[in-house]
Amino acid sequence: MPRITFLPHTNLCPDGKVIEVESGTTICDAALANGIEIEHACEKACACTTCHVYVRKGMDSLKDPSEDEEDMLDKAWGLEPDSRLSCQSAVGDDDLEIEIPRYTLNLASENH
């Protein structure tokens, strides 16, 4: 079974976390099922960017993003080449290393 390593995040998982998941599970669902309360304001419908993550290792094992996901990612806070929406990224057969950004568009809006 593939593993997802979530790098430490000050609020969501200060010590980081390593979990095993079934292939085909989305990164978002895996996080939520293991106590990492990643934001998902659109209820995982690919209609926002609050579940944006960085795939630091294992990106090649994920399917390419859909056009809808790419369009949403263009609006993500802190977009990087390894950015993905966790609600749209299903785990393949390889291990992943995930970093949850410090901010989302929701947090940036609320803090300004």
Those residues with Cβ within 8 angstroms of residue 51's Cβ, 6 or more apart along the chain or in another chain = 28, 38, 39, 40, 44, 85, 86, 87
Q: Does residue 29 surpass a pLDDT of 50?
A: yes
Q: Does residue 12 surpass a pLDDT of 90?
A: yes
pLDDT per position as a tens digit, 60-111 = 999 999 999 999 999 998 999 999 999 999 999 999 999 999 877 664 444 4
Q: Does residue 54 surpass a pLDDT of 70?
A: yes
Q: Does residue 112 surpass a pLDDT of 50?
A: no
Q: What is the mean pLDDT of residues 2-8?
A: 98
- CATH of 3-110 among 1.10.10.60, 3.10.20.30, 1.10.1060.10, 3.40.50.10860: 3.10.20.30
CA distances for 11 relative to 26, 42, 43, 61, 98, angstroms: 21, 21, 20, 28, 15
